[in-house]
Amino acid sequence: MVFATTQTLNDTFGSSSMLRTQLQNNIQARATAATKMIADQTDAKVSMMGLERSKWESVRSSIGEAKPQFESAVSALQSAKSMISGLRGMINRANITTDPNMYKGYASTFQSYVKSVVSSLTSAQGRTALLAEGDAKNNSVSYKISTTGAEQIEFGRDLAPKYSLVSGTDVWKVNRSQNILQLYRGDKEQNMAANLTNGVRLDAINPDGSVNFTIGPDTATPTSYNNATMTSSGLPLKDVWYYEGLATQDGRNRALKDLEQFAATLDTQIARFQGMADVADFYDIRAKAAMDELDAKGMSIQEDAQKQAKEMQQTLQQQANVLLQALDSSAVTQLSYANLLKTASSGTKGAKLFDAIYKVTA
């Protein structure tokens, strides 16, 4: 009887300990599974936002490649604009001089400013397609503005001052790098050229816009052309020979008129290209805002997930505490009952009765 009571006590302690361990393992397994589920759901949401963010990064990268091209165009035009005061200064000096020998010096300086204007524009052609030679298709810059593939396309223009003089089969074209007019027949370059500063002389501008001019006027064999067709493109600025070397009032008036148009055209084009840069800035700011919003949402989702996991763990811990308390209470009850049986196991009739009851109820 004593043996039976002692064995019951050991079984009580053993069962309680085993149940506690099983309960704790079960709670831990549930917590691990629930935490993993929350983490997986969070990772999926963050991954989706990461994919969307990478699309906006691609948009910003595309804009970032385009913006310097607009800035280069504006910078080149502003550089060309900075030559206006020098050009105007040579015209004004030629207007007030009383020494005809000074005209050649003013003309040479005027021509150097023209060359600088052209250099400002042509040197930028390697940095931006907006000022490149060719038609509008070659003068365009495009960039992404959304994650759906939409694009912004901006068209530029070759603004470098150019012109050609055509008389029959003879075509005279400007070669800026050498500061000369070069003769072509068909597409073949001829062995004949004239310096733009003093190798060409304007003889007349005809009512229909054609010009009479002479190549090598100060040489032994000058060559004159009448009614040559002049075709111009780019900014409205000619070389100094077209303004008669600034040596005549008509030439200087013509130069001032072209210079005013040149300045106005520059201002218009600067505003146009600056507008393109501003539009690109707008789309860049919008793309960055979208990325910032995604970053904020991602942080919020992670914070919510951490909060949810913490609350879930607290709930499971509370449930575990209640179950463990119930388990402990049950063990205490069984222990009290066992102690009662142990106390009653003195061999009396009452003890035998308790033992009989225990066998029945156990």
Q: Which two tokens stand for residue 262?
A: 């040149």
More confident residue, 31 or 334: 31
Per-residue pLDDT band at 139 (split at 50, 70, 90): confident
DSSP class of 164: E
The answer, yes or no, to whether residue 56 has pLDDT greater than 70, is: yes
Give the whole-angstrom CA distance, residue 24 versus residue 145: 56
262 forms bridges with which residues in the sheet?
none
Give the whole-angstrom CA distance, residue 357 versus residue 362: 8
More confident residue, 334 or 249: 249
Give 147's Cβ-side CA count (13 Å radius): 14
The answer, yes or no, to whether residue 141 has pLDDT greater than 60, is: yes
Is residue 252 within 8 A of residue 95, CB to CB? The reply is: yes
More confident residue, 304 or 221: 221
Which pLDDT score is estimated for 215? Answer: 95
What type of residue sits at position 137?
A: K
Q: Which two tokens stand for residue 144?
A: 């992404």
The whole-number average pLDDT for the span 23-41 is: 71
Mean pLDDT for the chain overall: 83
The whole-number average pLDDT for the span 276-288 is: 95
More confident residue, 321 or 260: 260
Q: Is 152 helix (H, G, I), strand (E, B) or coil?
A: strand
More confident residue, 105 or 329: 105
The answer, yes or no, to whether residue 326 has pLDDT greater than 50, is: yes
Buried b / exposed e over 188-216, threshold 16 CB at 10 Å, is eeeeebbbbbbbbbbeeeeeeebbbbbbb
Residue that is written with structure tokens 């393109």 in the block: 276
